[in-house]
A and B are shown apart, each in its own frame.
Chain A
């Protein structure tokens, strides 16, 4: 009985010591925590600088019924590239501010091909370009409840997308060939607000997280060939569930299930108030397996976003790679 009691006391001591270990880290060790072991917001005074690259190519789509289909009306060739530069700073151990500067560089060649009975095949080529800085994103995150041994952390976030992108688009045609050039907007329509709520629990070497984000779009205007056009803003809700684990002390693997629903504020007329490839309602469910490497203060992440289901959205894979450094 005595030995049993001693064993129990020893186990409790080890458990308490382990529980305190995260709090007892040096500043350098805190900067080297992995994506699964770091707290939900940055520690006070920490500055994180990051770069994120995303690539996808146009291809199959989910139609209005959720079936996979090929593009209607046009054939596409092209690449979608997004570059996002991000800075985050820990105001205190509970409050984090971040600013993201996205840059898009998408080139799409759309080929409209039609035939008249008995006549020769006619083809019109449309070069769609979308290049430049898009809307500046800011977000403040607050740890309402810090994670404890039994309870998850609860984090609330508030943010805004400011219309810093280019809101001018032009559509020009070559009178000889009928080919067209379409320079699309990169943003700049109106300010969007977002709110986030996240529950996050570390059970080393595992992590579970559930996050909900709501975007509230506002109406705005774009300039098309010198003329102002009113645009209706879109609302969007995003659910993310993450289950991750450490493969070793510095490599993590996470499974993310991502769902986005986008809806416009009211009825719209296609091709008049929104870019030509958008539709009024979009759903997208993806599975994003992610590998993250923590090399000291440098973190490298890669994931492939695999579309599982959707409506009026793309059905092709997206590759994402990011690098970040904590000062």
Chain B
């Protein structure tokens, strides 16, 4: 019994000493000075909540007038990382998003006297989880960090389209006597999984001065194979939907960002940055042909602040706004992040 108590006491003492080491590490670090990887045996859990305050659609590089179109976009991202050694960390990333686009649909008549048509596209759900290994190059000194990232996403979440729903409701419009209006809305629900594994690689670089630092980051994600998906197609004469199986290639995604940060106070760090996102090489099979998905480009500027609320808990917000875009929605995006750190 005494032996058992001794073992428990030793374990508790070890954990207490270890925790003190970890706590003292966190206590003395600022956003600017902390390494890009977490420390050995450190766990960081981050939750980011993002909300689009407004969105603009770009077809080609032209901004499309939003006549009758509404887009709402929000979600959260969970990032968990663990320091295997002082230079190697593993991180897992899971993202849930909700994107709803409601727009007038240009279908032809379906036999009703009069009707009003909307088309809703909903993409709501978890995306494929991503797993990364980040290796921080040693011996570069306290001012410079260079991290090599290798990882990718696993096709664990649902993909393809669900059978569209039709909402058919009476209208309150009585502009024309003797004519019954009705509302018809086709709701297309798309799952957010990719259906195929993707391979990713990239790097992060940071160089520090006394109170400022430069950051540069890049990542590239590409699918390892083509996928087979379901899609529902309305007939020409009504809402009889037929299912079609088709092949598709998920586009490659390139992401580059750079930022300049200032440590204003020991607890406050602000950064301004810019980012570039490009998605290309994707295609959908349509009537036996491979139809290219238009290349999408999004350049944004960002303003970020991070506050060290306690040595374990950090809070931050980022505002992203559009610089230029092609074939993509460009949101004014507000992201609120909470990061919690502890040591095993």
Contacts and interface: CB of A to CB of B under 8 A. Distances in A.
Contact of B315 (A58, A121, A247): A247
Given A60-B102, A70-B185, A77-B70, A113 B117 contact: yes
A75 B104 contact: yes
B187 interface: yes
Interface in A104-120: 109-119
Contacts of A125: 67-68
A70 B167 contact: yes
A293 B315 CA distance: 11
Interface stretch (B20-28, B49-57, B87-95): B49-57
Contacts of B54: 57, 79
B112 interface: yes
A73 B173 contact: yes
A316 interface: yes
B118 A75 contact: yes
B230 interface: no
Given A58-B70, A114-B116, A115-B109, A72 B171 contact: yes
Contact of B313 (A75, A247, A317): A247
A114 B172 contact: no
A125 B115 CA distance: 16
Contacts of A302: 317, 336
A119 B313 CA distance: 62
Contacts of B112: 117
B111 A117 contact: yes
Interface string B295-323: 00000000000010110010101000000
Contact of B102 (A70, A73, A251, A271): A70
Contact of A114 (B74, B115, B167, B187): B115
Nearest to B307: A251
Interface in A69-103: 69-77, 79
A22 to B, nearest CB: 22
B313 A304 contact: no
B114 interface: yes
Interface in B64-109: 66-70, 72, 74, 100, 102-104, 106-109
Contacts of B317: 302
A114 B102 contact: no
A75 B171 CA distance: 13
Contacts of B49: 304
Nearest to A63: B169
B181 interface: yes
Given A73-B116, A77-B70, A247-B309, A59 B336 contact: no
B183 interface: yes
A59 B171 contact: no
Contacts of B69: 75, 77
Contacts of B120: 70
B334 interface: yes
Nearest to A318: B51
Nearest to A79: B54
B307 A76 contact: no
Nearest to A117: B109
B156 to A, nearest CB: 26
A69 B187 CA distance: 9
A71 B117 CA distance: 11
B244 interface: no
Given A69-B167, A247-B315, A116 B67 contact: no
B72 A57 contact: yes
Contacts of B116: 73, 112-114
A286 to B, nearest CB: 14
Contact of A113 (B68, B74, B309): B68
B113 interface: yes
A116 B111 CA distance: 9
Nearest to B317: A302
A148 interface: no
A248 interface: yes
A114 B181 contact: yes
Given A59-B100, A71-B102, A77 B68 contact: yes
Contact of B67 (A55, A57, A77): A77
Nearest to B114: A114
A287 B280 CA distance: 39
A37 to B, nearest CB: 16
Contacts of A110: 68
A72 B310 CA distance: 48
B172 A72 contact: yes
Given A77-B69, A111-B68, A119-B109, 9 more contacts: A59-B100, A70-B187, A73-B181, A74-B68, A111-B104, A115-B114, A247-B315, A304-B51, A317-B74
For the complex of A and B, 3 pairs with smallest distance between CB atoms: A111-B68, A75-B68, A77-B66
22 contacts: A55-B53, A57-B54, A69-B167, A70-B102, A75-B102, A111-B104, A112-B116, A112-B173, A113-B104, A113-B117, A114-B115, A115-B109, A115-B114, A116-B109, A117-B111, A117-B113, A118-B109, A121-B106, A247-B315, A302-B336, A317-B72, A319-B334
Interface of B: 49, 51, 53-54, 66-70, 72, 74, 100, 102-104, 106-109, 111-118, 120, 167, 169, 171-173, 181, 183, 185, 187, 307, 309-310, 313, 315, 317, 334, 336
Interface of A: 55, 57-60, 69-77, 79, 109-119, 121, 123, 125, 247-248, 251, 270-271, 291, 293, 302, 304, 316-317, 319
